[in-house]
Amino acid sequence: MIEIGGDVTPRFEPVRRAFTANFEERGEVGASLAVYVGGERVVDLWGGVVDQSTGRPYTSDTLQLVMSTTKGVTAVCALLLMERGELDVDAPVARYWPEFAQNDKESIPVRMLLNHQAGLYTVDAPPSYEETLRWDPIVDALAAQRPLWEPGTKHGYHAITYGWLVGEVVRRVSGRSIGAYLRDEIVSPLDIDLTIGTPTELHSRVTPLIEASAPVSPMPTPDPGSPMALAGRAMAVSGALQPPDGSNAFNRPDLWEAEVPAVNAITNGRSIARLYASLVGEIDGIRTLQPETIAAATVVQDTYPDEVMMGMPSRFGLGFKLSSDDAPLGGPRGFGHAGAGGSVGFADPDAALGFGYVMNQMQMQTGGGDARALALAEAVYASL
């Protein structure tokens, strides 16, 4: 019997049932989910186990690395600087980061870093694992890199490099690392558990990720220049995140402590939901971004197919994925970001809703997203 902790308001009991069904029917191991509506938390659930061998329970205090759900958090940091007039997203990146002007990049605007149009989805010579965790070597490599397409003419998911590109702009403008900026300007006011660069004293609360099963059939070797080959090259930079001993970097404390702001935020469902709720309304008197900022951030930035992710359609605003029929994030004006394996955070301004789901069992995803998260979202909207 799976133990489910937490509570829901009576209207949202179907969400508890859907959360329980994920364990019974969809292979869930440990997870947490929270939902805010109209500034009030209406769902706060957790359940399962941290460690299948010992049965140690997944509790309200458990923290989870959330892969690319991190990108939405990083976007909020940049957008807060924009809202305060400290960052102009239409200004050249080189205004804030002069070294970035190398190799014909002097005119690339900050906007193109946020919407994945810069053509910097990898670097030709990634630094070592240890160097990458130090920040400067990978940032210097990106500053020196020649764009892999004419910036602004294509869109392609910058799976790993997005975080260093946007994070370095945040660092140059604010004078603080993105982890420190996040802590000071967003986490502390909201009183949430959310880190990019997680201190040692929190490591005991972090549950390791359980990798998804590999596909049964091997993938064919792609032709050079094909979308599949581009996707492989984009992920090649993740080789910089491959420890020499071959272990899973995302379960290593040295990566938890580093700042890799595309993929290594550590948090829980409650904190992600509270953050996104604060983007579309006040939470205990706090609103993280104003309506005008959200309106600007959720304008579709391009209509290109994704050149890196095998031609898949995608809709991006300024750092956020925007809801679509292919990848719903709540209602039609929903925005947020999902992470590899299943985690997701999003906001829906029409419903004044913030949603956060995190888990330790990663699953292979196809189509519109993770089946567990989709089932939970469906139950939430049926309860509204």
Chain Cα centroid distance, residue 123? 21
pLDDT at position 305 is: 81
Of 53, 60, 68, 128, the active-site residue reads 68
The pLDDT of residue 100? 98
- What was the pLDDT predicted at 309? 76
Listing from the earlier edge strand, what are the strands of the sheet with 265-267?
Answer: 194-196, 265-267, 63-65, 206-207
* Amino acid letter, 354: G
Domains of the chain: 4-383 (3.40.710.10)
Q: How many CA atoms lie within 13 A of 18 on its CB side?
A: 23
The one-letter amino acid code at 381 reads Y
β-pairing verdict for 30-37 and 56-57: unpaired
Answering whether pTM is above 0.85, one says: yes
Q: Which amino acid, residue 242?
A: Q
At which residue do the structure tokens 């769902």 appear?
43
pLDDT at 307: 84
Q: Which pLDDT belongs to residue 297?
A: 98
Distance from C-alpha of 135 to C-alpha of 142, rounded to nearest angstrom:
11
- Residue-by-residue pLDDT tens, the chain, 384 positions: 789 999 999 999 999 999 999 999 999 999 999 999 999 999 999 999 999 899 999 999 999 999 999 999 999 999 999 999 999 999 999 999 999 999 999 999 999 999 999 999 999 988 999 999 999 999 999 999 999 999 999 989 999 999 999 999 999 999 999 999 999 999 999 999 999 999 999 999 999 999 997 543 333 444 444 443 444 445 456 567 889 998 999 999 999 999 999 999 999 999 999 999 999 999 999 999 999 999 999 999 876 788 887 666 678 999 999 998 888 999 999 999 999 999 999 999 999 999 999 999 999 876 568 999 999 999 999 999
Tell me what pLDDT residue 57 has: 96
3-state SS record for the chain: CCCEEEEECHHHHHHHHHHHHHHHHCCCCEEEEEEEECCEEEEEEEEEEEECCCCEECCCCCEEECCCHHHHHHHHHHHHHHHCCCCCCCCEHHHHCHHHHCCCCCCCEHHHHHCCCCCCCCCCCCCCHHHHCCCHHHHHHHHHCCCCCCCCCCECCCCCHHHHHHHHHHHHHHCCCHHHHHHHHHHHHHCCCEEECCCHHHHHHEECCECCCCCCCCCCCCCCCCHHHHHHHHHHHHHHHCCCCCCCHHHCHHHHHCCCCCCCEEECHHHHHHHHHCCCCCECCECCCCHHHHHHHCCCCCCCCECCCCCCCCCECCCCEECCCCCCCCCCCCEEEECCCCCEEEEECCCCEEEEEEECECCCCECCECHHHHHHHHHHHHHC
pLDDT at position 228 is: 38
> How confident is the model at residue 213, as a pLDDT?
75
What is the predicted pLDDT for the residue at 364? 85
What burial class does residue 231 get, using C-beta atoms within 10 Å of its C-beta: 0-12 exposed, 13-18 middle, 19+ buried? buried
Dihedral sign computed on CA atoms, order 139, 141, 145, 147: negative
| pLDDT confidence of residue 366 | 62
Instruction: Please state whether beta strands 206-207 and 265-267 pair in parallel, antiparallel, or not at all (unpaired).
Output: unpaired
Q: Which residues contact 203 (CB under 8 A, 6 or more apart)?
A: 253, 256
Is 204 exposed, middle or buried, given 0-12, 13-18 or 19+ CB atoms closer than 10 A? exposed
Q: Which two tokens stand for residue 13?
A: 């009991």
Bridge partner residues of 45 (DSSP) = 6, 33
Please confirm, yes or no, whether 174 is among the known catalytic residues.
no
